[in-house]
Amino acid sequence: MLHWMQYLRGYVKVKVWGYSTERLLNLCGNHDILVWDIADHGGYTTMNVSVRGFFALKPLLKKTGTRASVLQKYGLPFFMSKMQRRKIFAAGFVCCMVFWILMSRFLWNIRIEGNYMLTEDVLLAYLREQGVSVPMPKNRLQIAELEKALREDYDLITWTSARLEGTTLLVQIKENEMPDYEPQEEDAGESAGTDLVARRAGTVAYIVTRSGVPQVEAGDEVKAGDVLVSGAVPVYNEDNTVRRYRYVQSDADITLRYTDDISVKRDVMYDEKIYTGRRKKILTLGFYDREWDLKLGRIKYEDYDVSGEKTQVRLLDQLYLPFYYGTKTVQEYRMARLEYTEDEMEGIMRSEWNKIITTLEEKGVQITEKNVTIKKNETYWVLNAALQLEEAAVRTAAAAEPADAGETADTEP
């Protein structure tokens, strides 16, 4: 504390020599001049004295017949006067401080964690809608509201946490791991009952009904949209006339068989970029969403790729600033027309075929028969596949009223 006071007021280190330094010290004590760090160096003595004390020392020096000279000046007053001589430096320092303080009041970066199904772009666009975008003043940010809005507007998000770390807004979310995809359809079917309807044309290969009235048998041809199982179950009178219809949710295992022809055509010739090996590195600097390339003249290559990376400037790990730096690599290439060899073509065709099979499997389609041929030509190869497929191509639909329901399907007696 005392040191701080001494520093703020300023003090000097003086060298004292002469007839009696002891007498000078006694006089200092009597005149309430604080002296400290007194050290004897044989011929002379050094001591520290405050600036005000130093001026009060003058008559005492005369009285005691000693002499004093300033060795060093310490403290804020001396520092300030030194700074006055270095105006530009001082101004720069102050500007720098002001700059950092102003910059740190803004949000410069948004980081999102924990999103798997919602992409970062979607969430950032949503945040922009909510008025959160970079750059924005930190004090306009309402974190609690933002968390709530995120939870309310996205059913998928079950938990949110937003917090500021330096100039970064860190949004952490947790997504519902088992979202229910079509809740409305089930709700609609609850009251009215549902039919099972063919999604595409084909032959019924297999049908086992658990609830509802089957409208087709195995072996029947159906068109897309035909009702396969009706959700309207008739309730009969004693004389075998229909009394009314009871609506249920139809449920059945049905597979439809159909044939499909798939053909894939691939050219033997292809274009490829061949990099000439000539490349250039360009330094880039960016501020916010602008970029400047540090290059001289234009790029002389006819065709070229540009790839690059940039890094955001940050302070102390979390304090992101709107400055970017990075490099761009420009690579020259020329287009070449090349020809696949026989082996390569076979490989390509095989991978195409595998792709077809896997996409069918992913859709839950079984292949019961297949006939694959490959036609070769000078310029292209064609893969033809005649497939017989089986698929549970059925969708649910609101139960249709039976044709004769008009007079009988009224309310219960």
Partner 1 sequence: MESLKLPKDTMLGASIVTVTGNREAFIQNYKGILEYSTERIALQGKTCRLVFEGRRLSIDYYTNEDMKISGLIDAVRYV
Residues forming the site for partner 1 (CB under 8 A): 21-22, 25-26, 28-30, 32, 34-40, 42, 45, 47
* Beta-carbon contacts of residue 261 (< 8 Å; ≥ 6 apart): 384, 385, 386, 387
Using the minimum distance from each CB to partner 1, give the nearer residue, 36 or 270.
Answer: 36
Among residues 189, 230, 223, 188, which one has the least CA distance to residue 209?
A: 230
- Return all residues near 37 (Cβ < 8 A) that are at least 6 apart: 13, 46, 47, 48
Nearer to partner 1, 21 or 160 (CB): 21
Closest separation between CB of residue 22 and partner 1, Å? 4
Contact 233, 248 (CB under 8 A): yes
In the complex, least distance from residue 33 CB atom to partner 1, rounded to whole angstroms = 9
Strands annotated E in 166-216: 168-175, 194-198, 202-211, 213-214
Amino acid residing at 95 = C
Whichever of 63 and 105 has its CB closer to partner 1, that residue is 63
Helix (H) or strand (E) run with residue 240 in it: none
Residue with smaller CB distance to partner 1, 54 or 324: 54
Minimum CB separation of residue 34 from partner 1 in Å reads 6
Across-strand partners of 227? 197
Nearer to partner 1, 32 or 187 (CB): 32
H or E element that contains 162: strand 157-165
Question: Cβ of residue 35: shortest distance to partner 1, in angstroms?
Answer: 5
Phi, psi of 150 (to 5 degrees): -60, -45
The residue among 109, 125, 126, 103 whose CA lies nearest residue 165 is 109
Phi, psi (degrees; rounded to nearest 5) at 298: -95, 165
Closest CA to 214 of 201, 203, 230: 230
Minimum distance from residue 50 beta carbon to partner 1 (Å): 12
Q: Which is nearer to partner 1, 75 or 286 (CB)?
A: 75
Three-class DSSP category at 83 = helix
What is the C-alpha end-to-end distance of the chain, expressed in Å? 98
Cα–Cα dist 170/161, whole Å: 8
Contacts of 58 by beta carbon, 8 Å cutoff, 6+ apart: none
Closest to partner 1 by CB, 13 or 200 = 13
Structure tokens of 382?
A: 């064609």
Min dist. Cβ of residue 53 to partner 1 (A): 11
Q: Are 297 and 79 in contact (CB under 8 A)?
A: no
Identify which of residues 38 and 118 has a Cβ nearer to partner 1 in the complex: 38
Q: Which is nearer to partner 1, 38 or 188 (CB)?
A: 38
Give the residue with the Cβ less far from partner 1, 31 or 210: 31
**DSSP secondary structure string for all residues of 325-349:** EEEEEEEEEEEEEEE--HHHHHHHH
Provide the minimum distance between the beta carbon of 88 and partner 1 in the complex, in angstroms, as a whole number: 40
Shortest distance, CB of residue 21 to partner 1, whole angstroms?
Answer: 7
Q: How far is the CB of 64 from partner 1 (least distance, A)?
A: 12
Distance of closest approach, residue 3 Cβ to partner 1, in angstroms: 12
